Structure formats: structure tokens, C-alpha cells
């Protein structure tokens, strides 16, 4: 199928950005996205095991099963399937921040059976799934202290690239049974090599692109890590609502039309300081056929577990459903996750919630 014009534009800028930013580790030069393993029998114990690599080997493992399924699991094989069956990347140790641990994150899932940690019961406060022709997107509100993030961490992006192309987390694999390639068989998983996961400020978004389509590098690209969910995963998620909707594809991140001309926005480097403006507003794609659920019906096997952890130096976190600007700005109340972990007009000026150590 021909690639639409806006997708060609996005694909070009992705290729150009990767060529400029990517600096493969000479001790481990094969990019994570080029490492392919059939699930479950083809997966090695560790995808990234090279002790001579600059960031060292991955901290966890990729062969995960009933023997590894507990709240101390170091499983780094993740899944995005359905509203009741998905995982998020989050730290293995309490009181952590994404910026300090992005290479070490482990899988936290909503359903037993993957050999991972489980997101504690009651931590999820709202989830929206958008099923589009080319990707699955899950956006929601979460008490992030329940999955080892400090309450006031504004977070960042996890993705299969990173500045050294080894991924964040290192060795992190992603699988899904949600696309047509699984033929409706929930036991048949496809490896996903185009995905993105933002988490922080008590909200998250995760998007996985259909490996059978040629649109993944554009729709699930990782070069707009400073713009968050608002631009990478536009949505209408609401605190307290759990729903699944059919939706159109979004316009690829960074691509917009002005005066009849298709333009691709290039995110400025961090060396130039905060992002103070973006020349367009990301549009939430049209959705339909929405079905609403209750959390009690969806998440029936989660541990009641760990109490939220706070430290003496932690300030209070934005309330679930809040729309924070950035760390030093006042917090504006909102029920939408669309601008959480992105750029927002808080206190009369623009700010950025986070800056990643390893640019995607």
C-alpha cells in the first residue's frame, strides 16, 4: 500500500534524526530493534548481556514465566494486548525516577501469566484504549508511587532506541497479540519493534505499532521525547473512566499542515534550553464505538500490596487527573491526560516536564 504523503515526510525526518543522533556502542553495535525473537521459545535469557558495553549489560532477564512472576521480578519482556492485559515500564526499586533509571526499568503488568511484576490493585485510576488501523494506544492515570516512582517525578520516555540504539530499558522486548498477524489467537504473540512509553506525573501513555504495516517508524517514532503524550499520543482519556474505542490513525508526531503545506517540526536539542513553543497543536484522532468498563471487572487478579512510598525530600505529587506544567510551575487541575507529561500553558508560560539523559 502506498505510504501517504504525511507519513513519507515523517519517515524522512525519522531517518535523518536517527542518522544524526545515533551512536552505536562499538561493543554492542546491533540495534535493539534489529534483534528479533519468536515468543516464547526463541527468547534468550538476556538480549543485552555484553559486560564490556558502555552502559553495561541489562539488569534483568527476558525469559519470564511462572517462576519469575512476583513483585521482585526483573523481567524485561513486556506486553501490550488489551485494556485488561498490558504492561508499563517502571523502576525495579522504590523511590526512583525515570531519568535516573531509564536503562533499568522492568515490566509491570495488569494480568498474571507473563512472569512479571503486577501493577497493584487500585493503582490504575482511568484507562483509555484507542484501536486504530495501524497501532494500539493505551493512556491512563496511575498512582505511580505504587510502581516504585517517586510521587513527584515528572517522568520521561522509554523506547527501543536510545542514543546508543540499545534501548531504554536495555534489552527491553515488547510483544502483542492484538494485531491481525496473531489471527485472533491470544497465545500467538508478535514482536513489536516500534513502540513508545511515557510515564510520570501520575499518568502514562504507551503506543505499539502493527509490525505488518510500514507506518510504524512514523507513528511510533521516538524523536519527540520532550513533547510527551500530548504530541506523541493525543487522547481524550479521563480520570475515573475505563474505555476502549475504535479510532483513526493520528497524524504522525511532528507533522502538521500550515497554509496548505505539509511541514515537519524538528524538536530543538536540550542544549538550547526549554521548549517554549510548538508551532502546532496535536489533534486527537476521531474515535467511535467506545465501550466503558469498571476497573473491578477488568483487573481481577492484582495484588493489594505495597503501600505508596514517600521520602522525606519528596513534595506532594499532582493529584491523579491533574495537568501539571513542569517542576517549578503551579499545577492546573484537569481531567484529561492529553497534556500530562508534555508541554502545557501553566502559570502563563510554557514548560517542559522532563529531559531524558539518553535522547531517543
Three cell numbers, residue 184: 485472533
Q: Is 342 a member of any domain?
A: yes
Query: How sure is the predictor about 327, in pLDDT bands with cuts at 50, 70 and 90?
Result: very low
Number of domains in the chain: 1
Give the helix/strand (H/E) hosting 199.
strand 195-200
Give the helix/strand (H/E) hosting 78.
strand 77-82
pLDDT digit string, tens, across residues 155-184: 999 999 999 999 999 999 999 999 999 988
Q: Is 329 a member of any domain?
A: yes
Query: How sure is the predictor about 336, in pLDDT bands with cuts at 50, 70 and 90?
Result: very low
Distance CA 240, CA 225 (A): 27
The pLDDT of residue 344: 35
Query: What percentage of the chain has pLDDT greater than the value 90?
Result: 76
User: Cell 505499532 identifies what position?
Assistant: 209
Where does the chain have alpha helices with state H? 5-21, 98-101, 216-219, 228-232, 295-298
Q: Is 360 a member of any domain?
A: no
Is the pLDDT at 253 greater than 90, yes or no?
yes
Q: What is the 3-state secondary structure (H, E, C) of 328-356?
A: CCCEEECCECCCCCCCEEECCEEECCCCC
- 335 or 60, which is more confident: 60
Query: What percentage of the chain has pLDDT greater than the value 70?
Result: 79
Is the pLDDT at 345 greater than 90, yes or no?
no
Query: How sure is the predictor about 304, in pLDDT bands with cuts at 50, 70 and 90?
Result: confident
Residue 105: name the closest of 151, 97, 220 by CA: 97
Query: How sure is the predictor about 230, in pLDDT bands with cuts at 50, 70 and 90?
Result: very high
pLDDT digit string, tens, across residues 88-99: 999 999 999 999
Gap between the terminal Cα atoms of the chain: 28
Distances, alpha carbon 355 to alpha carbons 47, 107, 245, 268, 342, in Å: 27, 22, 31, 12, 11
* Average pLDDT rounded to a whole number, residues 95-111: 98
Q: What rounded mean pLDDT belongs to the chain?
A: 85
Residue 274: name the closest of 356, 353, 163 by CA: 353
Q: Are 250 and 281 in contact (CB under 8 A)?
A: no
- 348 or 57, which is more confident: 57
Is the pLDDT at 153 greater than 70, yes or no?
yes
Query: How sure is the predictor about 340, in pLDDT bands with cuts at 50, 70 and 90?
Result: very low
Distance CA 36, CA 3 (A): 25
Q: Are 267 and 21 in contact (CB under 8 A)?
A: no
Q: Is 334 a member of any domain?
A: yes
Distances, alpha carbon 16 to alpha carbons 11, 20, 154, in Å: 9, 6, 29
* Positive or negative torsion for Cα 245, 249, 252, 256: negative
Q: Is 186 a member of any domain?
A: yes
Distance CA 149, CA 97 (A): 6
Is the pLDDT at 339 greater than 80, yes or no?
no
pLDDT digit string, tens, across residues 178-217: 999 998 898 999 999 999 999 999 999 999 999 999 999 9
* Average pLDDT rounded to a whole number, residues 268-290: 95
Strands 331-333 and 322-324: antiparallel
The pLDDT of residue 338: 39
Is the pLDDT at 360 greater than 70, yes or no?
no
Q: Is 221 a member of any domain?
A: yes
Query: How sure is the predictor about 319, in pLDDT bands with cuts at 50, 70 and 90?
Result: very low
* Average pLDDT rounded to a whole number, residues 76-100: 99
* Average pLDDT rounded to a whole number, residues 265-290: 95
Residue 150 sits in which domain range?
5-351
Q: Are 168 and 39 in contact (CB under 8 A)?
A: no
Cα Rg, the chain, nearest whole Å: 19
Q: Is 245 a member of any domain?
A: yes
The pLDDT of residue 13: 54
Distance CA 79, CA 35 (A): 17
Is the pLDDT at 309 greater than 80, yes or no?
no
Distance CA 255, CA 292 (A): 31
Q: Is 225 a member of any domain?
A: yes
Amino acid at each position: 500500500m502506498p505510504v501517504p504523503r504525511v507519513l513519507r515526510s515523517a519517515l524522512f525526518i525519522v531517518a535523518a534524526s536517527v542518522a544524526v543522533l545515533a551512536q552505536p556502542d562499538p561493543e554492542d553495535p546491533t540495534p535493539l530493534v534489529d534483534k528479533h525473537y519468536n515468543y516464547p521459545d526463541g527468547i534468550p535469557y538476556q538480549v543485552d548481556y555484553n559486560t564490556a558495553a558502555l552502559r553495561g549489560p541489562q539488569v534483568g532477564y527476558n525469559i519470564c514465566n511462572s517462576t519469575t512472576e512476583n513483585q521482585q521480578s526483573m523481567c524485561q519482556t513486556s506486553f501490550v494486548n488489551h485494556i485488561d492485559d498490558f504492561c508499563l515500564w517502571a523502576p525495579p526499586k522504590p523511590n526512583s525516577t525515570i531519568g535516573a533509571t531509564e536503562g533499568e526499568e522492568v515490566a509491570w503488568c495488569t494480568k498474571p501469566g507473563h512472569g512479571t511484576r503486577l501493577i497493584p490493585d487500585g493503582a490504575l485510576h482511568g484507562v483509555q484504549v484507542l484501536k486504530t488501523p495501524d497501532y494500539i494506544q493505551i493512556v491512563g492515570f496511575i498512582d505511580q508511587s505504587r510502581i516504585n516512582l517517586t510521587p513527584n517525578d515528572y517522568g520521561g520516555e522509554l523506547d527501543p532506541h536510545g542514543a546508543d540504539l540499545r534501548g531504554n530499558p536495555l534489552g527491553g522486548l515488547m510483544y502483542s497479540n492484538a494485531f491481525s498477524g496473531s489471527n485472533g489467537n491470544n497465545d500467538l504473540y508478535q514482536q513489536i519493534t516500534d513502540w513508545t512509553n511515557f510515564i510520570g506525573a501520575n499518568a502514562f501513555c504507551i503506543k505499539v505499532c502493527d509490525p505488518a504495516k510500514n507506518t510504524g517508524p512514523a507513528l511510533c517514532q521516538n524523536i519527540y521525547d520532550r513533547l510527551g503524550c500530548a504530541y506523541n499520543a493525543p487522547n481524550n482519556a479521563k480520570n475515573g473512566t475505563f474505555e476502549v474505542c475504535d479510532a483513526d490513525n493520528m497524524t504522525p508526531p511532528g507533522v502538521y499542515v500550515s497554509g496548505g503545506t505539509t511541514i515537519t517540526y524538528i524538536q530543538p536539542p536540550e542544549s538550547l534550553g526549554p521548549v517554549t513553543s510548538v508551532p502546532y497543536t496535536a489533534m486527537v484522532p476521531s474515535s467511535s464505538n467506545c465501550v466503558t468498563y469498571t476497573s473491578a471487572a477488568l483487573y481481577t487478579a492484582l495484588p493489594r500490596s505495597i503501600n505508596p512510598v514517600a521520602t522525606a525530600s519528596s513534595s506532594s505529587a499532582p493529584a491523579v487527573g491533574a495537568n501539571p506544567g513542569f517542576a517549578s510551575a503551579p499545577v492546573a487541575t484537569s481531567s484529561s491526560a492529553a497534556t500530562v507529561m508534555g508541554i502545557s500553558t501553566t502559570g502563563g508560560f510554557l514548560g517542559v516536564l522532563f529531559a531524558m539523559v539518553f535522547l531517543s
